[in-house]
Amino acid sequence: MLLGRENRTTARDGRALSSTVRRIAATTIALGLVVGGSTIAAADTAKHAKSSHDGKSSHHHSSWTPTMTLNATLTSPWNALHSVGTATTYGFNELTGTSTSLATPTAIELLGGLVYVNGVGHFNGFVTFTFSDSSTLGVSMNGLTRSSGGAYNFKAPLRVIGGTGTYANTHGFGLYTGTRTGPVGSPISGTFTLRLHQDSPTTTTVPATSTTIS
């Protein structure tokens, strides 16, 4: 009987020790993940901060272009807007215009979707810039319209999708700000500010071969 009690006591002690060891191991792993993750995150942040401070991209064979600013008044040749209730408007709106901010005119097309209450709310869409040499640049936008003093003010971050021609292999970001004084679908005067990053084209050299015909 005594031996049996000793065996049961030893078994309980073993299970308790095993449980304690598992808790210690789990805690050690968790601390390792937190500390390790923080260290990696800190290193990445420092690397990014240094890159931003130096004004250089972390990618090889690339360079940042100066900021591009395009001012334009956009009008709506087409829309599919619907109203529900007494204050809500939703639908799609196409806005087009021409900017003369650059040396040559730039055509702008904005395709946007919106849900507004009393003329304010969220919108999103896509903008295509077509330059005089037929090169294009596409960006996406997701922003907010607010009202102030009888005007409606737009603000939306921009993200470059890509481009063609001169703007092939282009990435970047930007900001759109605009104002309209009329109802939804009225002309909008605004500014697109872009920060563009273009990857340098990679040239592949194919070794010359010779063929002997006998």
Asked whether residue 118 is assigned to any structural domain, the reply reads: yes
Show the 3-state SS of the chain. CHHHHHHHHHHHHHHHHHHHHHHHHHHHHHHHHHHHHHHHHHHHHHHHHHHHHHCCCCCCCEEECCCEEEEEEEEEEEEEEEEECCCEEEEEEEEEEEECCCCCCEEEEEEEEEEEECCEEEEEEEEEEECCCCCEEEEEEEEEEEEECCEEEEEEEEEEEEECHHHCCEEEEEEEEEEECCCCCCCEEEEEEEEEEEECCCCCCCCCCCCCCC
- Return the pLDDT at 36: 37
User: Do 20 and 115 lie in a common domain?
Assistant: no
User: What is the Rg, in whole angstroms, of the alpha carbon atoms belonging to the chain?
Assistant: 30
Asked whether residue 26 is assigned to any structural domain, the reply reads: yes
User: Do 20 and 122 lie in a common domain?
Assistant: no
> Is the confidence at residue 49, as pLDDT, over 70?
no
Please give the model's pTM, rounded to 2 decimal places: 0.65
Domain containing residue 93: 63-199
User: Do 27 and 84 lie in a common domain?
Assistant: no
User: Do 71 and 123 lie in a common domain?
Assistant: yes
Asked whether residue 94 is assigned to any structural domain, the reply reads: yes
Instruction: Pick the more confident residue, 47 or 138.
Output: 138
User: Do 191 and 140 lie in a common domain?
Assistant: yes
User: Do 29 and 120 lie in a common domain?
Assistant: no
Read off the amino acid at residue 214: S
- Return the pLDDT at 67: 83
Asked whether residue 206 is assigned to any structural domain, the reply reads: no
The number of distinct structural domains making up the chain is: 2
Residues 163-180: pLDDT tens digits? 999 999 999 999 999 999
User: Do 110 and 142 lie in a common domain?
Assistant: yes
Asked whether residue 20 is assigned to any structural domain, the reply reads: yes
- Residue 103's CATH number: 2.40.350.10
Asked whether residue 213 is assigned to any structural domain, the reply reads: no
Residues 197-212: pLDDT tens digits? 888 765 445 555 444 4
User: Do 107 and 18 lie in a common domain?
Assistant: no
Asked whether residue 140 is assigned to any structural domain, the reply reads: yes
User: Do 123 and 29 lie in a common domain?
Assistant: no
Residues 84-115: pLDDT tens digits? 999 999 999 999 999 999 999 999 999 999 99
Q: Which whole-number Å values give the CA distances from 130 to 51, 107, 117, in the listed order?
A: 31, 5, 33
